[in-house]
Amino acid sequence: MPPVARNDPAVPRDEELRQGIEMMFFAYRDFTAEPDAILTDYGFGRAHHRVIYFVGRYPDCSVSALLGILQITKQSLNRVLGQLVREGFIHQSRGQRDRRQRLLQLTRKGRELEATLTATQRARFARAYRAAGAEAVAGFRQVILGLMSSDVDRERFERTTA
């Protein structure tokens, strides 16, 4: 019989999982620090970054689509979205198919800020991916997709996962 009892006893298992929890905390803390610092110069915060990022990523997305991504309330979103519209970073247009919808696009100014913010996070991922190598990146993707609660969100990444 092969020594298949490779399942670790409870203690090392707990240690492994706790390290996962902590790595998530430290990585996310550092991942958000640079954009946060830049946003301060604009009088914006992390919530503005999220809106700018996802509007750039999904042009012409509706307000409710954005609410589905961010999972915050309409009132919370409207506060930051309203600022971004008033200050000329985001433009709203009526939906063709459904005229109740306000479809969101970045303006030129919005695209510039998006690029500035995303550059820091892209550089961070580029460094981490290059240092770890393609195989590690595939493993990272598998695990981080597994951490998500919803297939709806996992499906956003299907194109390159398969």
The contact set with its own copies (CB under 8 A) reads 13-31, 33, 50, 53, 57, 71, 118, 121-122, 124-129, 131-133, 135-150, 153, 156-157, 160
Judged by beta carbon, residue 43 or residue 146, the one nearer its own copies is: 146
The answer to whether residues 65 and 104 touch, using CB atoms and an 8 Å cutoff, is: no
**Pick 30 or 60: Cβ nearer its own copies:** 30
By CB under 7 A, is residue 149 in contact with DNA? no
Taking the complex as a whole, the smallest distance from the CB of residue 112 to DNA amounts, in Å, to 19
Max intra-chain CA distance, the chain: 71
Please identify, using beta-carbon distances, which residue of 93 and 138 lies nearer to its own copies. 138
Residue 91 pairs with which residues in a beta bridge? 105
Choose from its own copies, DNA, none: what does 160 bind? Cβ within 5-8 Å by kind: its own copies
Contacting DNA within 25-64 (CB under 7 A): 39, 43-48, 50, 62-64
C-beta of 46 vs 130, nearer to DNA? 46
Q: For residues 5 and 154, give the distance between their C-alpha atoms in angstroms, rounded to a whole number.
A: 32
User: Residues in the chain, how many?
Assistant: 162
Residue 92 CB, nearest distance to its own copies (Å)? 23
* H-helix or E-strand spanning residue 106: strand 102-106
Which one, of 6, 105, 120, 101, lies nearest residue 58 by Cα? Answer: 105
Residue pair 106/114 in contact by the 8 Å Cβ criterion: yes
Which amino acid makes up residue 137? V
Pick one of DNA, its own copies, none as the site partner of residue 108 (Cβ within 5 to 8 A by kind): none
